[in-house]
C-alpha cells in the first residue's frame, strides 16, 4: 500500500525535469551517468521511506547499470556510447520490473517479453489514479493500515497543485491563439514575458509538456517498482513456457539436415580456406574477396542456429530419455560445427584486416566474435546439464561482457594505433595511412596519434601532424561544451593538443576558395580537414 503519494509525484517530476536539464540541446556526456545515479537514488530512497525492502539482486542491477553508463564520459566512440547507454537503460528497466522479488535470473526468454509488455502497460495506467484520485485512495489505505490521517489542510495542497499543472499548458495554448487574434493583447503578453525573460514561448511550452509527460511515466515506473500491482511467482526456468506440440521425429529430421549442410560447408572450408591461399586462388577469388564475402554470412548463420535451437527446444516433445539424448547430441553437433565456422570467420576477418587495415566495423566484429563463441559454448554446457531455461540469463551475462569489453578496449585508439603501425611497414596500397579515415576517428584516438607523431616516424609523421592540426583548428572553432557534456576523453585530447600547439604551426590551416573548406598542404598535396564522421565504418 502506498503510504505517501507525494513522494512518488515529486520524485517522478524531478527525474523528468533532470532529463530536460541534463540533455536538452546538449551533447552526450557525463549527464547520462548523473541521470542514472539520480534515478537509482530516487528509487531506493522512496523504497526506504515506504519501508519496502528491495531484493539484494536489485543492488547488483543498479550497480551494473551505473557502471555501464560511465561510457558516456569515458569514451567518445559512438557505438560504445550507444550500446552502453542502451544496456544501462535496459538494466534499469529490469531493475524496476524485479525490484522487490529479484526474479530476473530465473526468467526465460518469453518471460522477459511478457513481463516487459506488462510493465509498459502498467506504467501508463498506475499514475492516473494516484495523480487524479490519489488522496481518496491514499486515505482509504491509511485507514486500512491504521495510519493516522493527515489534517485536511495539508491534504488540500495536492488538488491545488494538480489544478495548476493542468491549467498552465491550457492557458499557454489559449493565450497564444488570442495573441494571434489581437495585436494589442499580443503586445501586452510580450511585455509580460519580457518581465520574466521568456524569449521563446513555443520552446518552453514544448519542454514543459515533455517534462509533464515524462513525469507521468516516471511516477508509474516508481509506483510499479515499489508497490507492484501483483506479486508474480518466481518462474521455473526449466519448465516449458509454451505447450510443446512438435514430435521428436520432425525435430530430429531438421537437425540432421542442418548438420549435413554444415558438414558439407566445412569440408569446403578445410579444402579452400584452411588449406591456404593457393587453394583459394584456384577458385578465382582473391584472399581478401573470399574473406569479405564470407564473414557476415557466417555470423548470421551462428545467430540463426541459436534461434533455431531455442525454438525447437521450446516446442518439441521429448518424452523419453532416448529422445532427449538424440536432441542433445544433434544440438551439440550443430553448435560444434558452428564453433568451427566461427574460427573460420575470425580468420577471414584477420585476412581482411591484413589486406585493408582496421575499421570500426571490423573492430566491432573482432570483439563480438569471441563473445559469440563463449555464448555458444555456454549453451552447449546448459544443454548437457539440462538447464536450457537459463539461456536468457546467459545471454544477459554475455551481452554485458561484450559491452564492458567495448568500453574498456578504446576502439578508436586501437584502430589508429594499428593502422599507423601498418603504414610504417609499407607504402603500397592497403598499407599507406588513410588520412581521411584517421580523421573520422574521435578524440579517443588522439593520444595514440600524438604518440606516433612524436616518435618522428618519417613515413607518417607529416600526415599525423596535419591530422592533429585539423583537430586543433576544429577545437578552436567549436563553442564551449556545457558541463553536462563533459567527457574525459574529449578533455584529455584538448589538453594534449593544447600542450603541443606550437607543433601545429608547422601544418598551417589554409582555405580552399572553391570548396570553402579547410585543408593542410603536405608535400604539395591538399588534405582536407572535413570530418564526415561515418561512425560505423
Per-position pLDDT tens, the chain of length 537: 677 888 899 999 999 999 999 999 899 999 999 999 999 999 999 999 999 999 999 999 999 999 999 999 999 999 999 999 999 999 999 999 999 999 999 998 888 999 999 999 999 988 888 777 654 545 454 454 444 444 444 455 667 766 777 777 777 778 777 877 878 777 787 777 666 655 667 777 788 889 999 999 999 999 999 999 888 888 888 787 777 788 888 889 999 999 999 999 888 777 655 555 555 555 555 555 555 566 678 888 999 999 999 988 888 888 888 988 999 999 999 999 999 989 888 887 887 788 788 889 889 989 999 999 999 999 999 999 988 889 999 999 999 999 999 999 999 999 999 999 888 876 665 577 888 889 999 999 999 999 989 886 677 888 999 999 999 988 888 888 899 999 999 999 999 999 998 888 888 888 766 656 788 888 888 888 865 444 455
Q: How many CB atoms lie within 10 A of CB 364?
A: 19
d(C-alpha 185, C-alpha 231), whole Å: 56
d(C-alpha 367, C-alpha 402), whole Å: 7
Query: Phi, psi at residue 246, to the nearest 5°?
Result: -90, 140
Check whether residue 188 and residue 267 sit in a common domain.
no
Q: How many domains does the chain have?
A: 3
Task: Give a yes or no: residue 280 inside a domain.
Answer: yes
Complete edge-to-edge strand list for the sheet that includes strand 510-512: 510-512, 517-522, 525-528
Which residue range forms the structural domain that includes residue 314? 248-386
Task: Give a yes or no: residue 185 inside a domain.
Answer: yes
Give the position of cell 618522428.
Answer: 456
CB contact at 8 A, 123 and 220? yes
CB contact at 8 A, 135 and 159? yes
Check whether residue 376 and residue 417 sit in a common domain.
no
Check whether residue 149 and residue 261 sit in a common domain.
no
Check whether residue 437 and residue 303 sit in a common domain.
no
Going by C-alpha positions, the residue among 67, 89, 13, 71 that lies closest to residue 410 is 71
Q: Which of 386, 402, 435 is the last residue of a domain?
A: 386
Q: Which of 170, 193, 226 is the last residue of a domain?
A: 226
Check whether residue 256 and residue 366 sit in a common domain.
yes
Check whether residue 378 and residue 514 sit in a common domain.
no
d(C-alpha 345, C-alpha 362), whole Å: 12
Task: Give a yes or no: residue 310 inside a domain.
Answer: yes
Task: Give a yes or no: residue 239 inside a domain.
Answer: no
382 Cβ neighbours under 8 A, 6+ residues apart: 388, 390, 391, 394
User: Got the DSSP string for 303-367?
Assistant: HHHHHHHHHHHHHB---SHHHHHHHHHHHHHHHHHHHHHHHHHHHHHHHHHHHH---HHHHHHHH
Check whether residue 198 and residue 58 sit in a common domain.
yes
Residue 233 has a pLDDT of 86
Task: Give a yes or no: residue 391 inside a domain.
Answer: no
Say how many CA atoms lie within 13 Å of 428 toward its Cβ: 5
Q: Rounded to the nearest 5 degrees, what angle is found at the Cα of 333, between the Cα atoms of 330 and 111?
A: 65
Check whether residue 216 and residue 290 sit in a common domain.
no
Task: Give a yes or no: residue 455 inside a domain.
Answer: yes
Check whether residue 282 and residue 200 sit in a common domain.
no
Burial label, 297 (beta-carbon count in 10 A; 0-12, 13-18, 19+): exposed
525 pairs with which residues across the strands?
522
Burial label, 532 (beta-carbon count in 10 A; 0-12, 13-18, 19+): exposed
Task: Give a yes or no: residue 516 inside a domain.
Answer: yes
Check whether residue 267 and residue 174 sit in a common domain.
no
Residue 142 has a pLDDT of 45
Q: Which of 226, 259, 292 is the last residue of a domain?
A: 226
Largest pairwise CA distance in the chain: 90
Give 3-state DSSP helix, strand, coil % of the chain, rounded to 5.
75, 5, 25
DSSP 526: E
Check whether residue 351 and residue 420 sit in a common domain.
no
Task: Give a yes or no: residue 486 inside a domain.
Answer: yes
Check whether residue 364 and residue 314 sit in a common domain.
yes
Amino acid at each position: 500500500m502506498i503510504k505517501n503519494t507525494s513522494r512518488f509525484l515529486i520524485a517522478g517530476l524531478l527525474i523528468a525535469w533532470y532529463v530536460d536539464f541534463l540533455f536538452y540541446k546538449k551533447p552526450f556526456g557525463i549527464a547520462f551517468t548523473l541521470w542514472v545515479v539520480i534515478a537509482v537514488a530516487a528509487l531506493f530512497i522512496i523504497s526506504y521511506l515506504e519501508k519496502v525492502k528491495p531484493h539484494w539482486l536489485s543492488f547488483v542491477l543498479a550497480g551494473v547499470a551505473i557502471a555501464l553508463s560511465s561510457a558516456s564520459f569515458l569514451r567518445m566512440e559512438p557505438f560504445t556510447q550507444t550500446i552502453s547507454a542502451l544496456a544501462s537503460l535496459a538494466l534499469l528497466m529490469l531493475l524496476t520490473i524485479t525490484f522487490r522479488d529479484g526474479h530476473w535470473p530465473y526468467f526465460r526468454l518469453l518471460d522477459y517479453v511478457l513481463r516487459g509488455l506488462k510493465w509498459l502497460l502498467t506504467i501508463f495506467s498506475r499514475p492516473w489514479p494516484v495523480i487524479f484520485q490519489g488522496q481518496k485512495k491514499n486515505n482509504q489505505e491509511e485507514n486500512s493500515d491504521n495510519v493516522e490521517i493527515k489534517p485536511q489542510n495539508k491534504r488540500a495542497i495536492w488538488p491545488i497543485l494538480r489544478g495548476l499543472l493542468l491549467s498552465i499548458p491550457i492557458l499557454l495554448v489559449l493565450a497564444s491563439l488570442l495573441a494571434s487574434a489581437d495585436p494589442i493583447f499580443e503586445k501586452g503578453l510580450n511585455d509580460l514575458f519580457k518581465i520574466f525573460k521568456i524569449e521563446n514561448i513555443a520552446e518552453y511550452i514544448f519542454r514543459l509538456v515533455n517534462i509533464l509527460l515524462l513525469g507521468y511515466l516516471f511516477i508509474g515506473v516508481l509506483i510499479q517498482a515499489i508497490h507492484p500491482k501483483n506479486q508474480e511467482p518466481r518462474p521455473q526456468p526449466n519448465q516449458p513456457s509454451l505447450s510443446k506440440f512438435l514430435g521428436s521425429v520432425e525435430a530430429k529430421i531438421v537437425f540432421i539436415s542442418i548438420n549435413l549442410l554444415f558438414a558439407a560447408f566445412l569440408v569446403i572450408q578445410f579444402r579452400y580456406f584452411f588449406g591456404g591461399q593457393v587453394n583459394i586462388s584456384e577458385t578465382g577469388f582473391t584472399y581478401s574477396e573470399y574473406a569479405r564475402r564470407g564473414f557476415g554470412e557466417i555470423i548470421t548463420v551462428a545467430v540463426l542456429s541459436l534461434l533455431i535451437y531455442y525454438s525447437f527446444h521450446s516446442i518439441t516433445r521429448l518424452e523419453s530419455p532416448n529422445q532427449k539424448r538424440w536432441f542433445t547430441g544433434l544440438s551439440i553437433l550443430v553448435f560444434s560445427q558452428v564453433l568451427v565456422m566461427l574460427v573460420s570467420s575470425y580468420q577471414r576477418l584477420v585476412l581482411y584486416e591484413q589486406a585493408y587495415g582496421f575499421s570500426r566495423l571490423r573492430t566491432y566484429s573482432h570483439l563480438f566474435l569471441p563473445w559469440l563463441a563463449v555464448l555458444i559454448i555456454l549453451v552447449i554446457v546448459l544443454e548437457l546439464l539440462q538447464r536450457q531455461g537459463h539461456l536468457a540469463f546467459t545471454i544477459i551475462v554475455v551481452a554485458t561482457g561484450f559491452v564492458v569489453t567495448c568500453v574498456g578496449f578504446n576502439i578508436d585508439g586501437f584502430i589508429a594505433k594499428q593502422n599507423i603501425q601498418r603504414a610504417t611497414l609499407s607504402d603500397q596500397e592497403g598499407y599507406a595511412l588513410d588520412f581521411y579515415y584517421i580523421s573520422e576517428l574521435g578524440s579517443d584516438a588522439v593520444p595514440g596519434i600524438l604518440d606516433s607523431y612524436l616518435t618522428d616516424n618519417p613515413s607518417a609523421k607529416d600526415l599525423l601532424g596535419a591530422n592533429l592540426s585539423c583537430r586543433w583548428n576544429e577545437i578552436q572553432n567549436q563553442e564551449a561544451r556545457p558541463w553536462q557534456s563533459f567527457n574525459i576523453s574529449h578533455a584529455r585530447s584538448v589538453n594534449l593538443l593544447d600542450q603541443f600547439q606550437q607543433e601545429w604551426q608547422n601544418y598551417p590551416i589554409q582555405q580552399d576558395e572553391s570548396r570553402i573548406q579547410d585543408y593542410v598542404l603536405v608535400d604539395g598535396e591538399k588534405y582536407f580537414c572535413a570530418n564526415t564522421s561515418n561512425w560505423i565504418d
